[in-house]
Amino acid sequence: MGRKIIEGSQKRSGRAGRRLIGAALAGAAMAGALALAAAPAEAAPLPTIEPTVENAAPTLDNIKLGIDRAMATNPELGPAGKLALSLFPKY
């Protein structure tokens, strides 16, 4: 007799879990639909920037400066620093 009560409660908790998962999926779908609906229809495309050495110059300069500073503070890094600096493009 007690066994049927336990089995029945397990069935009910299984149904509740499936309902909870179903409700979560439905909520996620609604949130996605609302996000798409809120997006502007005629959004201007982002400008494309061609990757060139000139565009990367500030970043390359910072890397070169870091290598120079590392070589200045640690003279034993001299050969490795010169090798690393030789790998950068000249502009």
Q: What angle do CA 9, 15, 19 make, to 5 degrees?
A: 145
State yes or no: pLDDT of 36 exceeds 80: no
Judge residue 60's burial from the number of C-beta atoms within 10 Å of its C-beta, 0-12 exposed, 13-18 middle, 19 or more buried: middle
Q: In whole numbers, what is the pLDDT of the chain averaged over residues? A: 76
* pLDDT score of 18: 78
Query: In this predicted model, which residue has the larger pLDDT, 4 or 37?
Result: 37
Cβ contacts of 7 within 8 Å, gap of 6 or more? none
Rounded Cα distance between 74 and 81, Å, is 10
